[in-house]
Structure 1
Amino acid sequence: MRTTRYTATLVAAAVVAGGLALSSPAYADPTPAGTFRQLVGVGSDTTQDVLNALAGDTVNSISYSASAVKSASGAGVASYDAIEPGTGSTTSKITTRTGGPSFARPNGSGNGRIALTKSLTGEAYPDSAGVAIKGQVDFARSSGGPSASGSALTYIPMARDAVGVAVRGSALDTLTVKQLHDIYNGSLTTVNGQTVHPRIPQSGSGTRKFFLNAIGLQDTELAASVTVVQENQGNTALTEDGALVPFSVGSWIAQNNGVSPDYTTTAAAAGGHLAAVQLPGDTGATSPVTTVNGKLSPVNAYYENSTFGRDVYNVVPTRAVDPTSIFFDKDLYDVFVTSGSHTAALASDSAESVIASFGFVNESYNGSVNLAKHAKQGGLEGTGISTAVPAAPALKTTLGDQSVKLSWTAPDATALPVTDYRVTLYGSDGAVVATKDVPATTTSASFTGLAIGNYSATVTADNLSGTGAAANWSGAVKYKSTTTASVATTAYGKTPKVAVTVAGSHGVKPTGKVTVKEGSTVLGTGTLDASTGKVTVSLSNHLKVATHTLTVSYPGTSKLLSSSATATLKVTKATASVSTTAPATVSHTAKAKVTVKVTATGTTPGGTVKIYEGTKVIATGTLSGGKVTITLPKLAKGKHTLHATYAGSSTVNAKTGANFVIKST
């Protein structure tokens, strides 16, 4: 059962009233020293103590080992403080993996997000003078939302906090947004006769960014008199009457209730407190805290206010909590994400009891990755980080039997290389049928076993900055058809006949026409027999004497895919037949005339005919309409054995006729 906001507040009061004694600032990074856990977090000091507790470490001499959150596989959380435990150093270094590099401790939400970014990109942290920290950070603690647009990082809400104003001196008991604006830009220097001494958290602090936005100022508009202090440390900020500083209300409660390490109770004992603030639209002021059983507790009206109330987040790589991604991190998902029936380990009743004890208000959206329910997305953070996403891949589609194969070529390179490709198949109603995420080295994906029907698909190239433009396909998925074709060698003048058979799969009978082409030229068409799937297509009997490569295409039906086959047709020269008509006798003083007729099936031969006596050509003629009458020269007396030879053409073979005899008298 999830804890409500109301019961969470009571849990907080009950926990701190149950004997959590205030002690010296005993707190640390993952303990004991040298402990390494799988899920490493850095960043905000607003949520560092509660994350330390949820990690099962000792916070302010209180052991939380019994309530350590873990993934289903047992992966634990390692939360590293924003400043060095015990010394308060802001320049110390941390090592988060066995044998890993030692790098500067990220101090504040912004620096935590930058460290997470550079853990993804492999760049040096905090800048080029640092060391490469690829794979050293898994999440960032953040008390504020994104500073960069994009979708690379998901901000998962954990609880509700608020930013109050810690003040010293009764003159600052009640403040308005206008007064705060004017104090921090330097135009208001006294309130109720008290000179004010404004402080602001360090650069990169989420509380600093949030507070300035709430009062309508930019960093560049801060008065020179505003002093920078470490976030959420009242003892060093509230050193004189008139001092004021933005402060996490949750942190103020946890410190003053003895739950978090003490950076504030000395200042509180000297008169430091949280001012009541007149919230926008209200006529009176609202205090951020109340007292329950002698302990501080949140005022929900202040926490829920849209100006001063805020969600606090755990920031993770978006792809790491996407179950469809090849970069999905199940351990990270189990600890941080609440989605559908899956509840984050951080959203369990025991975890929310711990969260409430540190001054935060539990919300039903703890662990949400739904952008409509308090989750946010942002881009990679840090200077010089490219925000360019890849262009659309060049897409090619191949349809198969109840299947579709999408293949692509990589888009032009961007500053950040392609890490993976996301392929999504949609049904005719636009619903997602399947999603595949493949590494950058893979350039194809297939979907099989699909029901026939209309589909569409997108392919995007992703890099660390986000998802690029989509390449799109739409079409129909059908059953496979198979086309076969054969044709015999055919002489010129005879009709070539292409025997075509189309077979459908899954018991579907192919119907319709087939087309025979040579290149782009249609040579013939035929309609399939509906019962056999066969047809014989007759082609022209005057195709060029040559070897022809034919393509036989079947266009498919509403259920069958198109298919095609190739066939090789060899057209040979026609066979000629030569006949002659000549007189039996002729006077030696006359010239005999010989008629030669050349025939071939399906064509009328043309060309030259020669009359030979032995091997000697004695006369020549040219066919016209397949015939020619040739006048012979005068023949010497006697018998002459002659024959006619047809020389052939581009379409008809040469042929020699039978001998004939003419007697010259």
Structure 2
Amino acid sequence: MKLASAIRSAAVTLAAALGLSLLTTPASADPIPSTEYRQLVGVGSATTQELLNSLGQAIPDPDSSPSPSLIASYDAEGASPIKTRPVGCVLNRPNGSVHGVLALHDAIVNNTGCLDFVRSSRGPRAPGTRLTWIPFAKDAVAFAVRSDSPLNTAAGLNLNLIELREIFSCVKRQHNGVTLRPLLPPEGSGTRAWLLAQLSMGDAQVGACVVPFQDNYGVALTSPGDIAPYSVAQYIAQTGGVTADLHGTTVLPKWNGVSPRNPNGTLNTAFPFVRDIYNIVRTNRLSGSPAADPALISAFVGPGSQVCAQSRLIQAYGFVTLGAACGSTALQGER
């Protein structure tokens, strides 16, 4: 069976078990109607937004107050500003993990109560204890190219980290006889921050030839030399019909002989660029203080939490479950 067929077959089987349609995106962006205010509000990463939308539909609020659903998750892109509470709480829509963390910091400093968590595809970048990164699944980052590109070979992308750094700093301009056009998500993106950290780069080292594009938006790759980081889970969900298909003509080649997907189309955790994905919360809301929030703890903390219990839903969106590591509160940081 060809890989694309295997992916769709696996997605069909799992989605059918979950009652998801493969013809339409199963979860809408933002709560609908916009006046449905829920107890736990999150913003941030584009990589996990569709999954959190579905979790928002699947997880009920135990006391049905202020809504029968517990989690409200606002997409990275869309109309701005957003309103997250019945009174006040009008804020610019944060696009990506970094801007989500900044918005949560603002809510903490000003004691607004407007946000409860941030979707994040990268870990903390500064030491501290104010925030806790709670992992709930595993993803990988591959490098998308067009299927008709000279970069798409049977051997895959045989590049080392130095060459990859040279590509995104615009030092290396040619590969396989084609002029390279690297693409990166915007500066607020967790995927961008995560990748640059792997390459020992900062935003200041990103070259002028790099083209911005929204995370996991494969249709933006329009020339033979295009190369862009792409969430493997997002690619699986898009090509399997679980989310809107934005992959265009892109493919995810092997990296030095290792495929980002297994033969059955699932994410390969042996791929070199594997990462955890998180929901970030204020640490003092987890335990040991008057601010501890039972609803937040029940939703995110521990392998038996409401989010971690949704293992089939997590897998339907292309991610890998974490088992006993799901819901850990060991990882803390400042931003």
- Under a length normalisation based on structure 2, what TM-score does the superposition of the two structures give? 0.88
Deviation, structure 1 residue 297: 2.0
Deviation, structure 1 residue 143: 0.5
What residue is the counterpart of 2:282 in the other structure?
317
Deviation, structure 1 residue 157: 0.3
1:344 has 2:305 as partner = yes
What residue is the counterpart of 1:332 in the other structure?
296
AA in 2 matched with 1:208: R
AA in 2 matched with 1:101: C
Asked whether the 8 Å contact 1:16–1:257 carries over to 2, the reply is: no
What residue is the counterpart of 1:512 in the other structure?
none
1:171 has 2:150 as partner = yes
What whole-Å deviation, never above 9, does each CA across 1:271-302 have from its counterpart, x for those lacking one?
x1112112xxxxxx21112453xxx4212211
What whole-Å deviation, never above 9, does each CA across 1:417-475 have from its counterpart, x for those lacking one?
xxxxxxxxxxxxxxxxxxxxxxxxxxxxxxxxxxxxxxxxxxxxxxxxxxxxxxxxxxx
Q: How many residues align?
A: 314
Quick one: distance in 2 between partners of 1:291 and 1:235? 25
1:81 has 2:75 as partner = yes
What residue is the counterpart of 2:326 in the other structure?
366
What residue is the counterpart of 2:167 in the other structure?
183
More strand by share: 1
Which residue among 178, 183, 199 is the counterpart of 1:194?
A: 178
What residue is the counterpart of 2:228 in the other structure?
245
User: 1:417-456 counterparts in 2 under 5 A?
Assistant: none
Please, which runs of 5 or more residues in structure 2 have no aligned partner? Answer: 1-8
CA RMSD of aligned residues (A): 2.2
AA in 1 matched with 2:328: S
Asked whether the 8 Å contact 2:139–2:274 carries over to 1, the reply is: yes
Which residue among 201, 207, 211 is the counterpart of 1:217?
A: 201
Quick one: distance in 1 between partners of 2:222 and 2:149? 14
Partner SS state of residue 150, structure 2: helix
Partner SS state of residue 276, structure 1: coil
What residue is the counterpart of 1:393 in the other structure?
none
What residue is the counterpart of 2:13 in the other structure?
14
User: 1:59-458 counterparts in 2 under 5 A?
Assistant: 68-70=58-60, 72-74=62-64, 76-84=70-78, 92-122=80-110, 134-168=112-146, 169-173=148-152, 174-175=156-157, 176=159, 177-236=161-220, 238-264=221-247, 267-268=248-249, 272-278=250-256, 285-292=257-264, 296-302=265-271, 305=272, 308-322=273-287, 324-338=288-302, 343-348=304-309, 351-364=310-323, 365-369=325-329, 371=330, 376-379=331-334, 381=335
Deviation, structure 1 residue 33: 3.1
User: 1:545-556 counterparts in 2 under 5 A?
Assistant: none
Quick one: distance in 2 between partners of 1:101 and 1:72? 24
Quick one: distance in 2 between partners of 1:26 and 1:158? 19
TM-aligned CA distance change 1:35 to 1:362, over 3 Å: same
Quick one: distance in 2 between partners of 1:156 and 1:231? 22
Quick one: distance in 1 between partners of 2:138 and 2:275? 6
Partner SS state of residue 266, structure 2: strand
Asked whether the 8 Å contact 2:24–2:243 carries over to 1, the reply is: no
TM-aligned CA distance change 1:72 to 1:321, over 3 Å: farther
Asked whether the 8 Å contact 1:153–1:378 carries over to 2, the reply is: yes
Quick one: distance in 2 between partners of 1:328 and 1:42? 20
Asked whether the 8 Å contact 1:71–1:334 carries over to 2, the reply is: no
What residue is the counterpart of 2:35 in the other structure?
34
Asked whether the 8 Å contact 2:12–2:22 carries over to 1, the reply is: no
Deviation, structure 1 residue 70: 3.6
What whole-Å deviation, never above 9, does each CA across 1:480-534 have from its counterpart, x for those lacking one?
xxxxxxxxxxxxxxxxxxxxxxxxxxxxxxxxxxxxxxxxxxxxxxxxxxxxxxx
What whole-Å deviation, never above 9, does each CA across 1:386-410 have from its counterpart, x for those lacking one?
xxxxxxxxxxxxxxxxxxxxxxxxx
Deviation, structure 1 residue 23: 3.9
Asked whether the 8 Å contact 1:41–1:140 carries over to 2, the reply is: yes
Quick one: distance in 2 between partners of 1:105 and 1:183? 31
Quick one: distance in 2 between partners of 1:165 and 1:257? 19
TM-aligned CA distance change 1:54 to 1:25, over 3 Å: closer
Quick one: distance in 2 between partners of 1:55 and 1:26? 9
Partner SS state of residue 332, structure 1: helix
Deviation, structure 1 residue 35: 1.2
Asked whether the 8 Å contact 1:71–1:332 carries over to 2, the reply is: no
Deviation, structure 1 residue 94: 0.4
Deviation, structure 1 residue 21: 2.5
Quick one: distance in 1 between partners of 2:10 and 2:313? 9
AA in 1 matched with 2:43: V
Deviation, structure 1 residue 13: 6.4
Please, which runs of 5 or more residues in structure 1 have no aligned partner? Answer: 1-9, 57-67, 123-132, 279-284, 382-665
Quick one: distance in 1 between partners of 2:171 and 2:286? 47
Deviation, structure 1 residue 12: 5.5
More helix by share: 2
Quick one: distance in 2 between partners of 1:286 and 1:22? 31
TM-aligned CA distance change 1:259 to 1:245, over 3 Å: same
Percent identical: 39
Asked whether the 8 Å contact 1:12–1:356 carries over to 2, the reply is: no
Partner SS state of residue 43, structure 2: strand
What residue is the counterpart of 1:554 in the other structure?
none
